[in-house]
Amino acid sequence: QVQLVESGGGQAQTGGSLRLSCTASGRTVSSWAMGWFRQAPGKEREFVAGISWTGGSTSYADSVKGRFTISRDNAKNTVYLQMNSLRPEDTAVYYCAARAASGYYSDYTDFDSWGQGTTVTVSS
């Protein structure tokens, strides 16, 4: 079992930036696919970004392409989500997820482990 802990959430202004981190413990996730999802109040959880275990392959939701960047540091067992040009519609709880497999995934049912989430609030 792997535990995932997100950090870096907070408040930002429209156009601002935040960097989320997700650190795994309990086992190494260097060979696991990782992803970020978000859930806004009253809405379903949605895919944000995914990354393969090498970091060589990434995928993004259309709504964040060109603004968000997912990356990972396997030596630190950590995945990041750099969020730039933030918009009020990016306000949500952001969750880190892991899957014990190679490749990258975008469906929340594909992931085995989840963090507790970190809240991002973007004001206009």
pLDDT in tens, 15-47: 999 999 999 988 887 788 999 999 999 999 999
Mean pLDDT calculated for residue range 1-19:
96
Q: Residue 23 CB: number of other CB atoms within 10 A?
A: 17
Integer Cα distance of 8 and 30 in angstroms: 21
Please tell me the distance from the alpha carbon of residue 27 to that of residue 1, in angstroms, as a whole number: 7
Amino acid at residue number 20: L
pLDDT at 62: 97
pLDDT at position 55: 81
63-101 pLDDT, tens digit each? 999 999 999 999 999 999 999 999 999 999 999 999 998
